[in-house]
Amino acid sequence: MVWAIIAGGFFLTALIGVPIGIGLALIGMTILHVVVGDATDLAINAVWNVFNEFTLSAVPLFIFMGEILLVSGVSGRMYSAIAPLFMKVPGKLLHTNIAVSAVFGAVSGTSTSTAAAIGSVAYPELEKRGYEPATVVGTLAAGGTLGLLIPPSLALLIFGATQQVSIGQLFLAGLLPGIMLALMMMAYVWLVISRREGVVPEDAKWIGWWRSFLTLLPIWPVGFLIFSVLGTIYMGLATPTEAAGLGVLASVILGFLWGDLTFRSLWKAFNDSVQVFVTIGVVILGALILAQAISILGLPLQVLTWIESMNMGPIAVLAAVSVFYLVLGCFFDGISLMLMTLPIVFPVMTGVGFDPVWLGVVVTILIEVGMLTPPVGMNLYILSGITGNRVTLMQAAHASFPYWLLLLLGVVILTIFPAIALFLPNLVY
């Protein structure tokens, strides 16, 4: 009966368009009332205990920081500074899309903000230079996913806050895999895309290696911002929440002194961040209620018992969970998908022996895949809109498909070599 309520609830939520958070809350409340026996008051305790935690307040602060950077024009300055480095590399400015997305992800923490910020700068410039529009969108959509993995990652922050996993360790764990995926994407551009005719135009605007490196000097304030957030955490000078507050302050200073931030745009960033956090907050609330109901009934233990009876090894469980995320990623956005599945996925995966920090990185990559999967691939929608629908959603999805495969290959590599994710956390902690 319980599984019928959960499956039916998910189906109805997707079918009739109920907000994900409300749907999860209703499913959890139904289980607590009908199955557990009028125990809906337990939901209140679960929600209060988590929303009253100091750590969770870092979420709106990181969202606000990303919105400030989005409206202040910092992304444009970063793009202009980094672009000359790749003018003589096969693939040229397509590499810049991925590299700048990785750097911007290190200060924004979200995938959609990264895709929007870099896409709004890069697409018009590359289209004007004669780059194939769909290919440009593919690199921007793929690069945008790095914003969800490279710390400070909003996904890893929420994962740690809701599953009681060290956020500092999660941030460290996401660093090397994020760099690895960025290099894999750039290698694909180098080896495959640059050899296709008509994709990358001839461009004689080359200023030499020395001057190319000198163009990086003006963006030193970005390093100050990265240190304000990540450096203070890793050096033990601040908690993630305190670091998020420092990041907001640093981004405001950076936006006014170095970017194009005004009080009007700062207010817009604040309003937008409130709307984003309310959306995410409702999903967190619903997920907590459902998690409480699932925990009381011992469903994760039942699933583990079933897995043991089927003689499924850890790799088979991981494969099944990956397919589960790939299917649901077609219908739900990344953060919502993560929150609605973790109540079962986290205890099951850790129960079969997977490290919780490693799991946070892998789950984040799997929900990144959903950012490139229609019909709810958010990065695809954002970038298709930036092109004025010159590149349709399906054309964007087709151009992003090789990077979709690269993300899955990243999961395989991390499964074979988990030390890629765990080396830095084990070294520091």
Q: Give me the torsion for CA of 179, 181, 183, 187, rounded to 10°.
A: 180
Could you tell me if residue 330 is inside a domain? Answer: yes
Q: Residues near 61 by Cβ (< 8 Å), separated by ≥ 6?
A: 241, 244, 245, 247, 248
Does 6 reside within a domain?
A: no
5 domain-assigned: no
Q: How many domains does the chain have?
A: 1
Question: Residue 145 domain-assigned?
Answer: yes
Q: Return the closest-CA partner of residue 387 out of 98, 44, 23, 119.
A: 119
Helix 167-191 and helix 154-163, axial crossing angle in degrees, nearest 10: 150
Asked if residue 3 is part of any domain, the answer here is: no
| Six-digit token string for 9 | 């609830």
Query: What is the span of the domain harbouring residue 281?
Result: 18-428
At 409, list the tokens. 């290959």
- Please indicate, yes or no, if residue 1 is contained in any of the structural domains: no
Torsions phi, psi of 306, nearest 5?
A: -65, -40
Q: Kindly write down the DSSP assignment for every residue of 41-66, as one continuous string.
A: HHHHHHHHHHHT-TGGGHHHHHHHHH
Note down pLDDT in tens along the chain; length 429 residues. 666 776 776 677 666 667 777 777 877 788 777 776 776 767 777 777 767 777 778 888 888 887 888 788 777 787 777 877 777 778 888 888 898 888 887 777 777 778 887 888 888 888 888 888 888 899 988 888 888 888 888 889 889 988 889 888 999 999 999 999 999 999 998 888 877 776 777 765 665 666 667 767 777 777 788 888 878 877 778 888 888 888 889 889 888 888 788 899 999 989 988 887 887 788 778 877 877 777 777 766 666 677 767 777 889 889 888 888 887 777 677 777 788 788 888 988 898 889 999 999 999 999 888 778 776 677 787 788 888 878 887 888 888 999 999 999 999 999 999 999 999 999 887
Residue 356 lies in a domain: yes
11 found inside a domain: no
CB 233 within 8 A of CB 243: yes
